Chain A
Amino acid sequence: MSFSVVEIRKDFPIFERTIRDGKRLVYLDSGATSQKPWVVINAESDFYSKHNAAVHRGAHQLAEEATDAYEGAREIVAKFIGGQESEIVFTKSATESINLVAYAIGNAEPGNRFALTASDSIVVTEMEHHANLIPWQQLAARTGAQLKWFNVTQDCRLDLSNIDQVITANTKVVAVTHQSNVLGTINPLDAIVKRAHEVGAVVVLDACQSVPHMSVDVVALGVDFLAFSGHKAVGPTGVGVLWGKAELLDELPPFLTGGSMIENVTMTTATWAPVPQKFEAGVPNMAQAVGLGAACKYLSDLGMDAVREHEIAITGYALDKMSAIEGIRIVGPLENVSRGAVVSFTLADIHPHDIGQYVDSQGVAVRTGHHCAWPLARAMNVPATTRASFYLYNDERDVDALVEALLGAQKYFGRF
């Protein structure tokens, strides 16, 4: 089946509505959150209307059905990223997934491979989303470990020229984004993984902007932990995924404690259930996990290589068309190589918030600001940018609408 945006758009009910007095919805903010197809909406709705019960407890048919649906989703998600079912932990968000790893590492006692001391270091990059920066800043502050980072070059790539000085024998964790949510840059993981493993560090991958957009295989990538969110991958809000290598999840202490995550409990002590239950305290976001299973199946049926190919094409088209606008500065790689379908830019001296407001009046939804990556904005020397992010339901028509709206914004704000 060939990749047809026209057909795909029919799966997403939101495209049936219009925006700002009858204008066609041009949704270019999937980097923040994606729209949802009927199959996901229906899966979540069906769970509530037909199977709702607390999973892993209850001696009744609904509990069985709910557990089957929830564990079935785990199986789909595991297949989707090439992992094992027991390695998939459902969280409420990618932010929680990363915090889980950071807090759990902080809970590790001497003797545990994750135990951190003031003589250790944690490595991040300058292009991290706050979700993959602040948990590590805080862990460093709590343990006394040193926080180090890779800088970003002026052509918006990671500067790995000093990799052996940044990742050293003292490094315990390397936390890096697969694809920048601002620049679109896809990072070269091979060199980072190789160096991290040489020194015995674990690699935590923020895959929020990659898993929804390309084929991701955790084994092939060689990373140790991977986090992504459901809502950016045509799935529901309120569900995120943490994948970790089985033996690492085994050794990692728990983060949230309580019901479901225990093996045995007395008034003063407790032992832990095997993974992944050890990391899923409390009644989980069941309907959302089931919805995410439907989302991963939807994407698999389309084929992630086809999605990626489509996005490469639309990125190339967008870079060409947008570069031709006078006064534009694209903040991200100009070459359509190792980059995703995210195009951030500034437009002469028109403030991004004003650009966003104008293009919205034309039905075009973009994001403006620092995109939860403030240090990166500073490194790129821009107070804020406007970001257009494309997905499987966007086509050339959407790029054309954006370009036309940007030209309109120039006229509108140039009138004084």
Chain B
Amino acid sequence: MELDSLYQEVILDHYKHPQHKGLNPVYTAQVSHVNTSCGDEITLNLNVENNVITSITWDGQGCSISQASVSMLSDLVTDKTLEQANAIVKSFSELMASKGTAAGDPEVLEDAVVFAGVSKFPGRVKCALLGWMAFKDAAIQSQGESK
């Protein structure tokens, strides 16, 4: 069924068992983002040391797509440099804008390529991007803070 391309097993698994959930009090930037159309909320704490992401934690409430997406993002960018992380965000944003025409680069996005199916559901793209946009903000703020 078409719906299965949206709700991939690995997405629902992250939803049921979210990674990096629970805010670390040590951070270089904290941001909160809201999906105004549905009320989903994510607060994200990012800690950057020597240009490397040492900790990314989050808390929030929302649908399976938004929660699984931020969970997977957190796995992906931990221990990456800000430049590497930004490249991942760029790749993911492009995938989300693809309207179902792209498969995503597994070299860059790893498991997050399962969100390719989301790009066929325009109403859900914002859900998938919620955590990523929060991260993007936090990364910009951390650039100034990080030594």
Contacts and interface: CB of A to CB of B under 8 A. Distances in A.
Interface string B14-49: 001000000000000000000001111100000000
A357 B3 contact: yes
Interface residues of A, number: 20
Interface in B55-112: 61-65
A357 B6 contact: yes
B145 interface: no
A384 interface: yes
Interface in A378-415: 383-384, 412-413, 415
A372 to B, nearest CB: 10
Given A369-B38, A384-B39, A353 B3 contact: no
A73 interface: no
A384 B1 contact: no
Given A369-B38, A370-B39, A384-B39, A353 B9 contact: no
B147 to A, nearest CB: 38
A351 B64 contact: yes
A21 B2 CA distance: 10
A352 B12 contact: no
A317 interface: no
Contact of B2 (A353, A361, A369, A370): A361
A226 to B, nearest CB: 28
Interface size class of B (residues with CB under 8 A): 20 to 34
B3 A358 contact: yes
Contacts of B127: 353
B39 A374 contact: yes
A171 interface: no
Contact of B38 (A21, A370, A415): A370
B124 interface: yes
Interface in A21-58: 21
A377 B121 contact: no
Given A374-B39, A413-B12, A351 B62 contact: yes
Contacts of B63: 351-354
Contact of B16 (A352, A374, A383, A416): A416
Interface-central residue, A353, A354, A368, by most chain B CB under 10 Å: A353
A257 B37 CA distance: 32
Given A354-B64, A357-B124, A384 B38 contact: yes
Contacts of A358: 3
Nearest to A350: B64
A221 to B, nearest CB: 32
Interface-central residue, B6, B38, B40, by most chain A CB under 10 Å: B38
A354 B2 CA distance: 14
A302 to B, nearest CB: 33
Given A353-B65, A357-B3, A377-B39, A416 B121 contact: no
Contacts of B40: 353, 383-384
A20 to B, nearest CB: 8
Contacts of A377: 39
Given A352-B63, A361-B1, 19 more contacts: A20-B2, A21-B2, A351-B62, A353-B38, A353-B62, A353-B63, A354-B63, A357-B124, A358-B3, A361-B3, A370-B39, A374-B39, A383-B61, A384-B38, A384-B39, A412-B7, A416-B9, A416-B13, A416-B16
Please provide the 3 A-B residue pairs with the shortest distance between their CB atoms, ordered closest to farther: A353-B63, A351-B63, A369-B38
Interface of B: 1-3, 6-7, 9, 12-13, 16, 37-41, 61-65, 121, 123-124, 127
7 contacts: A351-B64, A357-B121, A357-B123, A361-B3, A369-B38, A383-B41, A415-B12
